[in-house]
Structure 1
Amino acid sequence: MSDTVYIEYRFTVKPKDPASDLLIAELGEVGFESFVEEEDDVLAYIQKTDWSKAILEDLPILENPRYKFTFDYKEIEQENWNATWEQNFQPIIVDDICMIRAPFHETINVDYDIVIEPKMSFGTGHHETTHMMLQHILQLDVKGKTVLDMGSGTGVLAILAGMRGATTIDAIDIDNWCYLNAKENVERNNMDFISVYEGDVALLEGKKYDLIIANINRNILLADLPSYAKSLNSGGTLLLSGFYTEDLGMITQKCTDLALKFEKNLERNNWVAAKYVN
């Protein structure tokens, strides 16, 4: 994968909040894989093989008169992206007990010290959805439980579940780079009992879990919820994120139709992470 070529877009967004979050969500829908937020700009990355010059033509956010966008783009090699990430990545502390850091950061005294190198994968803890899913996991008793991390990205959610005592964990992502990166991060954190797979919801056939975590976009969640419900053990918990406050009703209705009961949700800058039980 070292010779993978990416297209890097640099967007200048005014006003930046909440436009940058909306932009990132819509870019994710059309195939952009990773993002770096700077003070005034958003950097977005997509594999050249998935890119075309017309890729931004149907993004509603760019036509919204409330926001002003300017952008340019260029080709970038994977190793150059890694250097950009290292320059921008700062450690994250979640609820004062969980730290997400890179190998070159010093640790502090926390209960859960997670070391990742995300490369082109989503899930550093910076984004609201990952942060809230980490909070949900910190609030759950997962000791001895079977766990699925669907759309696992860096594998950070699966790793935290493992650190909190889950014994059987599957991490699945459809993207090859995420699959490879999660395998590296699982090994880096000595979580060799976490199984990492490349694929989609078809891999769930015949499997059962006590906890299913899915931090993906709204449309994929809606399509895959029947499979999650089928794979969730009686009394199990489903954590969903990757969608906005205004989408919560739609997601909850789908879960209700599948006999999953809404329990609570967290909100952060208009993003939601919801908990459902079987």
Structure 2
Amino acid sequence: MNYSELQLRLSPDYTDILTAELAELGYESFVETDEGLNAYIVEPDFDEQAIQELIAKYADQTAIAYEVNSLEKRNWNAEWERDYEPIEVADQVRVRASFHESDARFRYDVVINPKMSFGTGHHETTAMMMEQQLGLDFAGKTVLDVGSGTGILAVLAAKMGAKSVLAFDIEEWAVENARENAELNDCPQITVFQGTIDDINPPGNMLDWTPAVFDIVLANINRNVLLREVPIYADLLKEGGYLLVSGFYEHDAVDIEQKAREAGLTSVKGMSIREWTSLVFQRSTWVQGVM
């Protein structure tokens, strides 16, 4: 069966959002490009009207252009395996697929088999989040992974000694994939559910998750979500707890830092790679009334 290739030219800020939207429409794999995003779907399932409606949905927020190509049947798994190379972070972490051999030179061996062609640590924001994680003590800690995707950050947290990790994503495929990757890495302390930050510790929480607060919160998502939810993350942190964030550009860091300060967080460390940025904040003890 042939595939349709949808080539989108759009702002990088909307790549993750459009990826999620297209996954809901049945697109099976994605590749980020210099101009935006390529998405793939079997030809019988391609619906151009659905694409036009999706673009119209975001027309008042950003400009999106597209074109469609027909591709011959390919062995997509073989092409993915050909293009997927292990990555190394700070000489301590090696992220690989299950078909790669392990490398004993690295302290942490993280196995990630993504359902889509992203969330493997190759993006600058994910690599920075992992490097920031290496600077913290996860031993015996409780961790929350916001918008967990493939579960790569949750897996590293578990391998670094976290006692329990709660991860969630709004996408069903991501939840399934994160659970698979947690099992691949033998991380039973990871719990993954489908939902949003609003599902954390509501009255009558069906997850029966304890404790009510976390030692570390990880959030590799986009600027708009962070600006809206940083105060919630701060409320979920224990005194002295850490918030690690990424998924935005250097010029957005000022707004993120201001929102964090307003929520009682102190900036601890920043990192940038090719205009992408990651920040670490700590919750001050006075926020919870301890002087």
The answer, yes or no, to whether TM exceeds 0.5 is: yes
1:96 and 2:104 matched: no
Mind listing any 5+ residue stretches in structure 1 that lack a counterpart? 1-5, 14-21, 64-69
Amino acid at match of 1:172: F
Farther-moved stretch of structure 1 (257-266 vs 181-190): 257-266
Amino acid at match of 1:86: E
The higher radius of gyration belongs to: 2
Distance 1:56 1:115, change over 3 A: same
Once the two structures are superposed, the pairs formed by residues 99-118 of structure 1 within 5 Å of their partners are 99-109=94-104, 110-118=106-114
1:161 and 2:157 matched: yes
Structure-1 separation of matches of 2:72 and 2:244? 35
Structure-1 separation of matches of 2:253 and 2:33? 29
Q: Residue 6 of structure 2 aligns with which residue?
A: 9
Amino acid at match of 1:85: W
TM-score, structure 1 as length reference: 0.81
Structure-2 separation of matches of 1:158 and 1:228? 16
Q: Residue 208 of structure 2 aligns with which residue?
A: none
Distance 1:89 1:224, change over 3 A: same
Structure-1 separation of matches of 2:259 and 2:4? 36
1:43 and 2:42 matched: no
Instruction: Note if contact 1:218-1:243 (Cα within 8 Å) is conserved in structure 2.
Output: yes
Amino acid at match of 2:89: V
Q: Residue 19 of structure 1 aligns with which residue?
A: none
Deviations for 1:58-110, whole angstroms, at most 9, x for unmatched residues? 374658xxxxxx74356999x96555432321111111111111111122121
Mind listing any 5+ residue stretches in structure 2 that lack a counterpart? 24-28, 203-211, 284-291
Q: Residue 52 of structure 2 aligns with which residue?
A: 53
Instruction: Note if contact 1:173-1:199 (Cα within 8 Å) is conserved in structure 2.
Output: yes
Distance 1:41 1:204, change over 3 A: closer
Q: 1:182 aligns with which of 178, 185, 189?
A: 178
Once the two structures are superposed, the pairs formed by residues 257-272 of structure 1 within 5 Å of their partners are 257-272=262-277
Q: Secondary structure at the match of 1:90?
A: coil
Instruction: Note if contact 1:26-1:61 (Cα within 8 Å) is conserved in structure 2.
Output: no
Amino acid at match of 2:251: E
Counting aligned pairs with the same residue, the percent is 41
Instruction: Note if contact 1:129-1:215 (Cα within 8 Å) is conserved in structure 2.
Output: yes
Distance 1:250 1:40, change over 3 A: closer
Farther-moved stretch of structure 1 (30-39 vs 172-181): 30-39
Structure-1 separation of matches of 2:199 and 2:117? 20
Structure-1 separation of matches of 2:171 and 2:178? 11
Structure-2 separation of matches of 1:160 and 1:217? 21
Distance 1:36 1:211, change over 3 A: same
Farther-moved stretch of structure 1 (44-53 vs 223-232): 44-53
Deviation at 1:213, TM superposition (A): 0.2
Deviations for 1:18-65, whole angstroms, at most 9, x for unmatched residues? xxxx744323234356642579995335897995224346374658xx
Instruction: Note if contact 1:142-1:164 (Cα within 8 Å) is conserved in structure 2.
Output: yes
Structure-2 separation of matches of 1:41 and 1:88? 19
Distance 1:55 1:189, change over 3 A: same
Q: Secondary structure at the match of 1:157?
A: helix
Structure-2 separation of matches of 1:39 and 1:121? 15
Distance 1:252 1:213, change over 3 A: same
Q: 1:204 aligns with which of 195, 200, 203?
A: 200
Instruction: Note if contact 2:95-2:110 (Cα within 8 Å) is conserved in structure 1.
Output: yes
Distance 1:237 1:81, change over 3 A: farther
Farther-moved stretch of structure 1 (44-53 vs 208-217): 44-53
Q: What is the count of residue pairs matched by the alignment?
A: 257
